[in-house]
Amino acid sequence: MNYTRLLTLLMVLLLMISFTACSSEDENDLLIFTNATIWNGTDQNMQENAALVTRDGRVVSILDMNDHDFPENAQTVDLGGAFVVPGLINAHGHIGMADGLDTSAQAHTTDNVVRQLKLSAAYGITTVVSLGDEPYHAFLVRDNMDPVERGMARVFLAGDVLSADTPDEAAEEVERNNRYNPDWMKIRVDDGLGQREKMSPEVYSAIIDEVHRRNLKLAAHIVYLEDAKGIVQSGGDLIAHSVRDEPVDSELIDLMLDRDVCITPTLTRELSVYVYSERPDFFDDPFFLEYANPEVLEQLQRPEVQEVFTGAAADYFRDALPLAKENMVALHNAGVRVAMGTDSGPPARFQGYFEHLEMQMMQDAGMTPAEILQSSTRYAAECMGIDEELGTLEAGKWADFVVVEENPFDDISNLKSILDVYIGAKRIQR
């Protein structure tokens, strides 16, 4: 018997032992969510009359309720015929940088980070990838607090947005930020609409190499098509906003497909730059008002504050929004993975609610509810490299899920009919 065969035999034996061990006597460890229509986040359709079997906060399987092997001694939670989808993932948020409209040092606290992660979770956003500018308190929370126990969204962090003027500065800058042990790194390639010099390809290439040397990935904020291409050509791993100056072309599409680079369109970011120049419609949405801070709403309706949301930049991004949407759809149709992201977290970009607004805008732009659901779960996880544990309800992954009353495959806004949110199979307090 050769070595490979022996190894296979051993594996089979081990599997048999573990199956026997798990079968009946461990039923008491199971927590089963019964009586639901479940979408597990993969290409498979929703499964009606199904049950989600979990153990220690992780998915074991999804069973048909009529399955004759249905564990009889397990603890169950009846979901009353509701719909279950994997917890939503924001692939481009920002955590802990502002408290209401305040971005001063006073806003930077551990409590604020926890509050924002709980708020996200209340809206069904069970994971946030925060792409930069977090205070160190966000790292304290990430490293010391259990999201399952706290009922807050899981968080991944990028640390300081990297800046360097020369390729020589790149190594030092990346090393400095690496001390926090970030999950991603981030740069901005942006000339402030012609107001400042933007990072050169030489500098961002050097940064990307340094980031890769530390086995991390780099997200790049861009505005222009030219820079999106440059970033992908230089090995960048995520385009962190939609292209907003020109229609995307086959060169960018081929580059992104070739190198498996995703995009987070952040359409609500465009909206947030101008929408408060007058009172936005969503100020009347009960789903928004449920968690919105009345003081912030009052501030945003003051004439002197409304004034801030006017001017050249506001005009540019308002006018660029239709193109941003078209470019998102063009990339999506070409097979580039779109990961739902909002750029929420800075002042007046409302965490939790903006994710739902983003998904609505994706639908208005022409993506189907099924495509948006994938974008907000599995693709977001894959694009951000966290799909081993998150993004779908497959065996071994965290049982993070949202229970909704209406079918989100009919209309993405049905995700607003949240009944409950579970993180690690534990129901959060909303």
Kindly write down the DSSP assignment for every residue of 326-354, as one continuous string.
HHHHHHHHTTPPB-----B-STT--TTHH
CB of 64 to Zn ion, least distance (A): 42
Query: Distance (Å, rounded) from C-alpha 378 to C-alpha 381?
Result: 5
Residues 184-213 touching Zn ion, rule: CB under 5 A, are none
Q: Under rule CB under 5 A, which residues in 107-136 are in contact with Zn ion?
A: 131
Site residue total, Zn ion (CB under 5 A): 2
What is the nearest approach in angstroms of Zn ion to the Cβ of residue 94?
A: 6
Stretch that binds Zn ion, among 17-25, 61-69, 335-343, 398-406 (CB under 5 A): 335-343
CA angle at residue 182 from 176 to 185, to 5 degrees?
A: 75
Report, in Å, the least distance between residue 281 CB and Zn ion: 24
| DSSP β-bridge partners for residue 58 | 55, 398
Decide: is 343 part of the binding site for Zn ion (CB under 5 A). yes
* Cβ 268 to Zn ion shortest distance, Å: 11
Of 173 and 343, which has the nearer Cβ to Zn ion? 343
Q: Which is nearer to Zn ion, 131 or 262 (CB)?
A: 131
Smallest gap from Cβ 139 to Zn ion, in A, equals 17
Q: What DSSP string runs through 119-184?
A: HHHHTTEEEEEE-S---HHHHHHHHH--HHHHT--EEEE--SPB--SSHHHHHHHHHHHHTT--S-
Residue with smaller CB distance to Zn ion, 271 or 404: 271
CB of 346 to Zn ion, least distance (A): 8
Cα separation, 176 vs 162, whole angstroms? 9
Helix (H) / strand (E) element for 38: namely: strand 30-38
CB 246 → Zn ion: shortest distance, Å?
21
- Nearest residue to Zn ion on Cβ basis: 343
Amino acid occupying residue 421: V
Of 131 and 328, the one with the shorter C-beta distance to Zn ion is: 131
313 within 8 A of 61, measured Cβ to Cβ? no
| Residue whose CB is less far from Zn ion, 38 or 324 | 324
Find the part of the chain contacting Zn ion (CB under 5 A) among 36-44, 146-154, 336-344, 405-413: 336-344
Residues 131-160 that bind Zn ion (CB under 5 A): 131
Count Cβ atoms below 10 Å from residue 50 Cβ, excluding itself: 23
State how far the Cα of 388 lies from the Cα of 8, in Å rounded to an integer. 24
Q: Which stretch binds Zn ion (CB under 5 A): 49-57, 107-115, 340-348, 414-422?
A: 340-348
Stretch near Zn ion under the rule CB under 5 A, chosen from 57-65, 167-175, 278-286, 342-350: 342-350
CB nearer to Zn ion: pick between 36 and 91: 91
Least distance in Å: CB of 243 to Zn ion? 15
Q: Which is closer to Zn ion, CB of 34 or CB of 130?
A: 130
Does the protein bind Zn ion through residue 358 (CB under 5 A)? Answer: no
CB of 340 to Zn ion, least distance (A): 14
Backbone angles phi, psi at 164, to 5 degrees: -155, 150
Cβ proximity to Zn ion: between 133 and 387 the closer is 133
Using CA atoms, how far apart are residues 183 and 54, in angstroms rounded to an integer?
27
Q: Which residues contact 280 (CB under 8 A, 6 or more apart)?
A: none
Nearest one of 124, 52, 115, 105 to 356, comparing CA atoms: 124
Nearer to Zn ion, 99 or 343 (CB): 343
Contact criterion met (CB below 8 Å) for 53 and 61: yes
Taking contact as CB under 5 A, which single stretch among the options 5-13, 28-36, 107-115, 338-346 is the one that binds Zn ion?
A: 338-346
Residues paired with residue 34 on neighbouring β-strands, in sequence order: 78
Of the pair 131, 421, the CB lying nearest Zn ion is at 131
Other CB atoms within a 10 A radius of the CB of residue 85 amount to: 23
Choose the stretch contacting Zn ion; rule: CB under 5 A; options: 281-289, 326-334, 337-345, 377-385.
337-345
Q: Which amino acid is at 45?
A: N
Q: Which residues bind to Zn ion, rule: CB under 5 A?
A: 131, 343
